[in-house]
Amino acid sequence: MYRALIVEDDRSIAKLIKEQAQMWEIECRTAENFRDVLSDFTEFQPHIVLLDIGLPIYNGYHWCKEIRKISNVPIIFISSASDNMNIVMAMNMGADDFIAKPFDGTVLIAKMQALLRRTYDFAQSAPVLQHRGAFLNTGDDTLCFNGENIPLSKNEYRILFCLMENKGRIVSREKLMERLWKTQQFIDENTLTVNINRLRKKLDAAGLKDFITTKVGVGYLIE
Rounded to two decimals, the pTM is 0.64
Does pLDDT of 136 surpass 90? no
> What does the H/E/C string look like for the chain?
CEEEEEECCCHHHHHHHHHHHHHCCEEEEECCCCCCHHHHHHHHCCCEEEECCCCCCCCHHHHHHHHHCCCCCCEEEEECCCCHHHHHHHHHHCCCEEEECCCCHHHHHHHHHHHHHHHHCCCCCCCEEEECCEEEECCCCEEEECCEEECCCHHHHHHHHHHHHCCCCCEEHHHHHHHHCCCCCCCCHHHHHHHHHHHHHHHHHCCCCCCCEEECCCEEECC
| pLDDT in the model for residue 187 | 59
| pLDDT in the model for residue 182 | 62
| pLDDT in the model for residue 108 | 92
| pLDDT in the model for residue 31 | 93
Q: Which of 83-87, 100-104, 179-183 is predicted with the least confidence, judged by mean pLDDT?
A: 179-183
Does pLDDT of 183 surpass 50? no
Region 65-70 average pLDDT: 89
Top pLDDT among 137 and 5 is at 5
Query: Percentage of residues in the chain with pLDDT exceeding 70?
Result: 92
Confidence of residue 93 (pLDDT cuts 50, 70, 90): confident
pLDDT digits (tens, 9 = 90+) for 3-39: 999 999 999 999 999 999 988 989 999 998 999 999 8
| pLDDT in the model for residue 142 | 79
Q: Which of 46-55, 128-137, 208-217 is predicted with the least confidence, judged by mean pLDDT?
A: 128-137
